[in-house]
Chain A
Amino acid sequence: MIVLKDIRKSYFVGDRELPILKGIDLTVTKGEFVVLMGVSGSGKTTLMNIIGLLDKQTEGEYIFADTNVDGLDDEKLADMRNNHIGFVFQQFFLLPYLDAIENVLIPIVYSRKDIKHPRDKAKVLLGRFGLEHRIHNKPSQLSGGEQQRVAIARALVNDPDLILADEPTGALDSKTGGEIMELFRMLNDEGKTIIVVTHDPKLASFGRRLVRIEDGAISEDIAT
């Protein structure tokens, strides 16, 4: 599913090179549940952006879904993201003027997959996450946990292979955060590949594999 070979990423501030990722080798196979842990500044977010095809490495090779994505242009990358990856973020990023179901449907607008009856599908997803009575509520009328569940439904609506979650519990209390992580666990049981990026050590127990990033390199990679 994901093969990263000696991935390096540097930012340039004036003439100075700031290395963020210093040679990452990582393989994630289909059906894994990886927690990518690291403190802020460790490079975990940069790594997540590269995995999520939102950023490009300076050096190294990245093969995603059997495709070498290094040479792909903007449009192809957008298609790859749309087809293969569902994103979940700490701040949910729901559009405030759309109701829950419309938010869930956003990826469908850009999809080339022929998804039949997208509204019904979105409704089923929201129903599975206990939001059947909330489908016509605006994000401002939903609690944080509900908003995050809407965001997860949005990540799932286009049938991605991979769910990429960046601090998905960061804006939630620990109980609600735990529920969200249980939800990922359930999705993983159904076969979805899941990568959760976090600084919070408590989340490690929900995954099946822990990859720790320290100072731009992998310092630990264990099954949990």
Chain B
Amino acid sequence: MRYTASFYLRIAFQNLVVHKVRMTLALLGILFAVMSLVAFGNISSGMKRKIESEIGKFGKNLVIVRAGLVHAAGRSTRQFSESKTLKLKDAQFIKESLAGVAEVVPYYDVSYPARYRDSMLNVSVAGVSNEVFDIRNIDLAAGRYFTAEEDAKAEKKAVVGYKVFETLFPGEDPIGKNILVFRVPTEIVGVMTEKGTDFAGQDQDLQVYIPLNTFMRRYSNVDYIKGMYVQVRDGYSLAGMKSALRGFIRKVHNMKPEQKDDFTVFTMEDILRTQEEGIRLVSVLTIIASTVSFLIGGLGIFAIMLLSISERKMEIGIRRVVGSKKRDIIIQFLSESVIVALVGGIGGILAGLLITVIVDIIGGFPIVFSMNIPLALAISMFIGVLAGIYPAMEGTKYEPVKALYS
């Protein structure tokens, strides 16, 4: 029995080798189908993993309130209109009055050059209360965070992003040094770890955090804020908090029902939804494309097997003469079509993995191998059986002697 199985396998592979070009064409359909299935499955898992990690990097359970109208979509937020109506006390009200709010961090951010000696770098300066470090998961590479006390006293302290340190202080310890922000000398107390760009398109490594009070009194001299991060307690829904915040701020701002919002409330999920919808759309297209490819591949194998059977009548004849039964013939040709399909499937898996690695490296996604490889092989085998069954049955229709002499 073992001998029989290995004999069939050898014959199947020998046929594959003898009819290289033909067999390659036949299995290309399966190869492409499996390749797209595997590559896309892996790449989309990688993308999803990246989105999840971005959410984690930005901070969990956050609702963002921005002054003015902001359109949040794709990988960026776009400002449609500015507004100076969002105040610091709004943030205090929210923290004191709304159920489910764990923490509110008001901020004011602006782009500005930072200088140290002869070097200059455009940075994003943000005035924030020191809770920001907690809710936005900011870790330090060196130094410390500024304290609530320093904030209250409006002291000129800064926590800077990694690139700020790298560019302005090459080979130098930045802690305790003063950089010029808004021409105001500001002491660096901490350096953040490298974080990259957050989902809103802000390069975290070019960020300079300064206590909010300091910022509003000594740097910009404004009485309004640009926005706030609202951290929601576990158990409260982000969507619910979004509408509660909107109603609350409208009330605090004494807005009439016909008035448009002068602020925008959104979550990271809102921004990332378009990406996830994109992934979903592409995955539907991939499934359609690979289904078509599988069908074409199946038809290819079907045609090649029919051809192969009519070419190998003599073989069928001699096998029948020396004692093969009809089911032996069926098993032989089925195993051939399954092997062709499997070779295509394995080729597709290898090509798919290669594409996965290339795309993930270029796109900067984490390399994830999802579990669709056994599925792809199973589908390939199924297609092989399906495509081979009719030709194999045809092969049993010849009478042994007639097959020999035809």
Q: How large is the interface on B (under 10, 10 to 19, 20 to 34, 35 or more residues)?
A: 20 to 34
Q: Is the interface of B mostly helix, strand, loop or mixed?
A: helix
**Cβ of B3 and Cβ of A81 under 8 Å apart?**
no
Q: Which residues of B contact A87 (CB under 8 A)?
A: 321-322
Asked whether any CB of chain A lies closer than 8 Å to the CB of B18, the reply is yes
Contacts A78-B325, A111-B323 given; 6 further ones with Cβ under 8 A? A49-B401, A83-B323, A93-B317, A93-B321, A110-B324, A110-B328
Given contacts A93-B314, A118-B3, contact A110 B322 (CB under 8 A): yes
Q: Interface size of A by Cβ–Cβ distance < 8 Å?
A: 28
**Cβ of B323 and Cβ of A78 under 8 Å apart?**
yes
Count chain B CB atoms within 10 A of each CB in A74, A87, A110, A154 and give the residue with the most: A110
Asked whether any CB of chain A lies closer than 8 Å to the CB of B94, the reply is no
Q: Which of these, A79, A82, A109, contacts B3 with CB under 8 Å?
A: A109
Q: Which residues of B line the A interface, CB within 8 A?
A: 3-4, 7-8, 10-11, 14-15, 18, 314-315, 317-326, 328, 400-401, 404
**Cβ of B7 and Cβ of A78 under 8 Å apart?**
no
**Cβ of B400 and Cβ of A106 under 8 Å apart?**
no
A52 to B321, CA, bound (A): 9
Chain B minimum-CB-distance residue to A75: B325
Asked whether any CB of chain B lies closer than 8 Å to the CB of A102, the reply is yes
What 0/1 readout, one digit per residue, does chain A (129-157) give for beta carbons within 8 Å of chain B? 00000000000000000000000001000
A109 to B4, CA, bound (A): 5
**Cβ of B325 and Cβ of A97 under 8 Å apart?**
no
Q: Which of these, B14, B321, B323, contacts A98 with CB under 8 Å?
A: B14
**Cβ of A106 and Cβ of B325 under 8 Å apart?**
no
Task: Give chain A interface residues in 64-109, CB to chain B under 8 Å.
Answer: 74-75, 78-79, 81-83, 87, 89, 93, 95, 97-98, 102, 105-109
A79 to B322, CA, bound (A): 9
Given contacts A97-B14, A97-B18, A109-B4, contact A81 B318 (CB under 8 A): no
Given contacts A49-B401, A55-B401, contact A109 B325 (CB under 8 A): no
**Cβ of A95 and Cβ of B323 under 8 Å apart?**
no
Q: Which residues of B contact A54 (CB under 8 A)?
A: 321, 400-401
7 A-B pairs with the lowest CB-CB distances in the bound complex, closest first: A82-B323, A107-B322, A110-B323, A93-B318, A110-B324, A78-B325, A81-B323
How close is B279's CB to chain A, nearest CB, in angstroms? 47
Q: Which of these, B3, B11, B326, B328, contacts A108 with CB under 8 Å?
A: B3
Given contacts A97-B15, A108-B3, contact A102 B323 (CB under 8 A): no
A95 to B15, CA, bound (A): 11
How close is A100's CB to chain B, nearest CB, in angstroms? 14
A163 to B400, CA, bound (A): 18
Given contacts A49-B401, A54-B401, A95-B315, contact A154 B322 (CB under 8 A): yes
Q: Which residues of B contact A111 (CB under 8 A)?
A: 323
Chain A minimum-CB-distance residue to B14: A97
Given contacts A82-B323, A95-B318, A97-B18, contact A109 B401 (CB under 8 A): no
